[in-house]
Structures are given as structure tokens and as C-alpha cells.
Structure 1
Amino acid sequence: MRKLVIGNKSTFIELTLKETNGKHWETFENVKGIAISICGSVKIGEIESCGQCQDSIEALYKDGSLHKHADRVGRIVEIWNEWHLNDLKAGTKKQTEYLNKVGVVGYDEAVKALKDVGLYEDSGYRYGSDWLFNPAPNDIAEELIRLFDTTK
């Protein structure tokens, strides 16, 4: 497992990369790969936001408040939105792509939407019945390591 942090005392992003095993979200075979977890913390005066606060961090990035790492934060947030908790997928690739297309995010809404189009069960997998894994490509993990390298 590897933990990296970028930012300062009041605003930072923490990255955890770990090698893990899981059931692949397309093939359902047990695979080994890289899992990504990213969380952040923003403190402005007495107001603090922690966890999945990429919108707040991105807003600070856009207005120049994170000037030291401004060239990196936008790309980190893009990867964060796509790959965070890639080892904890409630749906198959097909189910997830459909839910993303129609903009559904909550579990109950997802079940209803998938049932409505006949995707609640995909290749025998019932949505939300297990955690599925979409292993991160090596180039994404390597890019994150470069983005979090504050010595450059």
C-alpha cells in the first residue's frame, strides 16, 4: 500500500494505492490489480470539509487558491471522479455505464432504473449483490504518483 499527500495544512488531497484481489466487473473472474482511494480536506476559516470534497478543492484550484499545485489539481480531480474506490463497484460495467448515462446515483433509484430496462441482472449478477472490481490501469497509477510528487 502506498499513501501520498499533496497540498498544505488547510487544503490537501490524500491518495492511497493498494494491490488487491477482486471479482472483475465484466468477467466476474478473480483478478489482481490496483485499487485507488482518494479523499480530501478543505479548511477555510472555521469551515471544514473532508472526504469526497473534490468540488470544493476544484473550486479553490480554479480561483488560484491552490497556486502551488494548481497545474496538477484539475487532473487529480478528473482521475478521482473516475477511479475512486474502483474495487467497490455495486454494478457491472454495463449497469454502471447505463446508470451514469441516465444520471442515477442512489441505490434504490438505481435498482428501479435497472429493472425498468432489464439490466437489474446482468450475466447472472444482481446489482449490488457483491462488490466488483475495475482494476486501474498501470498508467493511471503511475500518473497519480507523478502528480503527487511534490519534489518536481
Structure 2
Amino acid sequence: MAGKIKKTISKTAQAPLSPTDRVEDTYSPYTDQFFADMATKIAVTFPYEEFAAYHGCSPSHLAGAMSALVLAPLSDPTFTQHRDRNMSIAQYGQHMITTWSAHFEQVLLTTSGKANKRSRLRPSASTAPSPPGSPPLSSDVPLQSAKDVAEGKPTS
């Protein structure tokens, strides 16, 4: 079943977490399987050839970068370059989510009241958009300010 992601259902319905929600110690959806499934979904759906062509590199170079920065940290328990060897993928993922949430809160505090401030959570839009008729790359998607994200405003 290549490309299929194992679907697990929680016994209790959970509302989606926002970046500033605190995750309770009693339950976490962030299991090793959660992160392995995330890595599989990313690997199967990512537009490798389009992205590589857009950035002037080979798909194999992109695959190496993707494996090192995204796939291995999410799914390979033997890949411990940036975490304590005794820490599971789920613990590492939870730690990174908590670290990012704290950063996001700080960005919100820093940018509150500054409507024109761009979010630093995503890179600036590229000056070269995707070719006509091709799906947009993330650099073609309009950015939102951190304040707009916090207020739940839709992307313009």
C-alpha cells in the first residue's frame, strides 16, 4: 500500500490546535506514528520535480535535503543528529511544537498593533512566480501578518 497513510481515530473528538494552544500532558496526538504518517504524506505529495526546477537543482539534491531536514527527523528513530538519543520522535516533535508555539506567541506580541508587518514565519514571496498554468509554489501564496493569523483572517 505505497502512498497510503494509516488512519487512526481518536476515541474523543479533538478540535484542531492553534499555534498558541497549550497541549495538556494527559493526551497528545503527537505519537511516533503521527510523525511517520506526516513524513509519508509529505514524501508522496511534494512536487519534487517542479520545486527542483524552480530552484535550479536536481530532484536528487532536493530529495537529499528533504530527507535530512524533514523525512528522517519525522520518521527514522535512528536519526538523532539534532536530538537526545534517548528522546523518541514523538517527544522530539512535541518539543519542537512547543518551541515553535513559544516563538509564534513572541512574534504575535512583537507584531501586535503593526498591521503592515509581514509574518516572519514564512519566507518572502519570490520575484519570479510559477509559470502560467502550473500549480503555485508556496512563494506565490500571499503572506499574512502574524496579527492576521492570530485573528483567524483568511489569506488574501
Q: TM-score range by the shorter chain?
A: under 0.3
Whose RCO is larger (CA < 8 A, sep 6+)?
1
Q: Structure 2-normalised TM-score?
A: 0.23
Report the TM-score when normalising by structure 1.
0.23
More strand by share: 1
